[in-house]
Amino acid sequence: MKKYFWLIFFLFLFSRFFFLAHYPHFYDSPEYYRESLSTNFFQSIAASHEAVHPLYLWLCQLFQKIIITLANQPQFWVISFISALFGLLGFFAWYFLIKRLFNEKIALFSLIPLIFFPHLWLIQTNLLHETVEQGLFLLGLLFLDLFLEKRKFHWVILVIISWGLAIFNFPGILIWFPAAIGLVIYRSKKIKKDLIVFLLSSFLSLVMALILLYATLSQAIFNPGERIKELLFGQGGVLWTNWSLLDILRVLRNDGLILFHGYSVAAILGGIIAFLWLIKERQNKLLVFLSLFMASFLITGRFWYGGLYGRWSALVAYPLALLLALLPWRKVYFERSEKQGSDERSESGSYWVLIAILFISFLPTFLAYQKTPVPLIQASLLQQSDFGKEDLLILSDYQRPQLTYENALYLGSNNYQIIEEKIKEALGENQRVFLSQQAITFPYWQYDGQEIHLISRGNREKAHLKKFLEDKELSLVAENKNYPLLSLYQIKRKNNF
């Protein structure tokens, strides 16, 4: 089986390290690159957005210093390299965990879909922090399983360190801790005692993370306690409020969109079939483990954010891949045909049909990120126009991180009425006003990287500026017919107002 492992390993390696992003595609990515160039870690922490990622930022600066020393200039790809590196850590941790829980065949089967899940590939090849805490969390699961078998205290220490660093980098990883409870229930013969060990390990991991966070933030900002409180109970507090029926339906909608676009319909159907098969086989403890893992995923649909929507949910790839590996076809694959009495391997074909479908589903996303970055296309359209410093430019807030202009305003849900007044003032003073299609349709049909944000594909007739623009004339200034949502317009008055 070793040759199959190495084949899968090199395919995973190729799909990640040979396709590292050379451009900050996503909302927070330009910030990560900018701060990677800083020589003062604590100043970078102070300049970071509210949800700081200290371990990731430290690694970005470390790797950037190394590449500057070697190549005499900074590189975008070196930040993506960190994502791929921790993706590889997760790959190994998952393989060894599943090999221990089941066998090598199932472990190998559970690796192959990970290569072709679009969201996982994006997270592990771009300037994003999620793979750091996700890789450390999976490593902690492996260490926890080693403790449950070997009963050696040093494995608990390694669990605390792995999870402590994961929480330190992003407290949102706590959402996934129910998966560890499921692992204890599935694996342990002393469930009550081992649940106490888990709770103690989790508590000490949190304490370690909070101490590190406080020590780091105290060197960077005036009131570190308030920032930590906001991290845990501000953004995290969303979990405990507004659970109306409508909210629940929205969460389920978001979860469905993430699964369909990030993991494919075939993977979802295969996962459902596998889950039903496990129920039929009365694999109750395994069902608890998988259910608690998936329950964490369901909660992630509660949050709204820009920058690859669904990245907080990416750990769902692992239980989903395991479900696909547990389907009955594993009984015939890699085994010799007994009926024919030959040495030839019997072929079910089903699994490889599924992998082929996953590959086909993966291709559109893969190809999209081999093309010219969308913000550069928008910038080229601005250059084609006669837009100047004396003019006013209105862009979408989603365009702000990559497209920075002194005379630009960035339209969002909280400021669009103010921007409407600014446009009126500019037109009243005979100042030219240019408007991107992304601003016109905001908050709908917004580019999130190279593709449209999953939950922005709504009715553009409900766009914030729709009513305001009804008595204005929009004159097309520049367009790219392959990207109609990036067209540039100049606003002109139809009537006096």
pLDDT digits (tens, 9 = 90+) for 409-447: 999 989 999 999 999 999 999 999 999 999 999 999 999
Two tokens at 436? Answer: 């991107």
3-state secondary structure of 478: strand
Provide, rounded to the nearest whole percent, the portion of the chain with pLDDT above 90: 76
Q: What phi, psi does 376 have (nearest 5°)?
A: -70, -35
3-state secondary structure of 475: strand
- 339 has a pLDDT exceeding 70: no
- Of 329 and 447, more confident: 447
β-pairing verdict for 408-411 and 392-396: parallel
CA-to-CA distance for 246 and 267, rounded, in angstroms?
A: 27
Provide, rounded to the nearest whole percent, the portion of the chain with pLDDT above 70: 93
Q: Please name the residues in contact with 349: beta carbons below 8 A apart, sequence gap of 6 or more.
A: none
Q: What is the pLDDT of residue 52?
A: 86
Contact in structure between 257 and 308 (CB atoms under 8 Å)? no
Residues 52-74 as b/e (b if ≥16 CB within 10 A, e otherwise) read: bbbbbbebbbebbeebeeeeeee
- 166 has a pLDDT exceeding 60: yes
Q: What is the pLDDT of residue 165?
A: 98
Strand order of the sheet with strand 433-436?
408-411, 392-396, 433-436, 488-493, 472-478
Long-range CB pairs of 325-329, under 8 A, 24+ apart, other chains included: 325/98, 325/106, 325/107, 325/108, 325/109, 325/110, 325/113, 326/102, 326/106, 326/274, 326/277, 326/278, 327/270, 327/273, 327/274, 327/277, 327/351, 328/277
The pLDDT mean for the chain works out to 90
Q: What is the DSSP string of 107-128?
A: HHHTTHHHHH-HHHHHHTTSS-
Q: Please name the residues in contact with 133: beta carbons below 8 A apart, sequence gap of 6 or more.
A: 166, 167, 169, 170, 172, 173
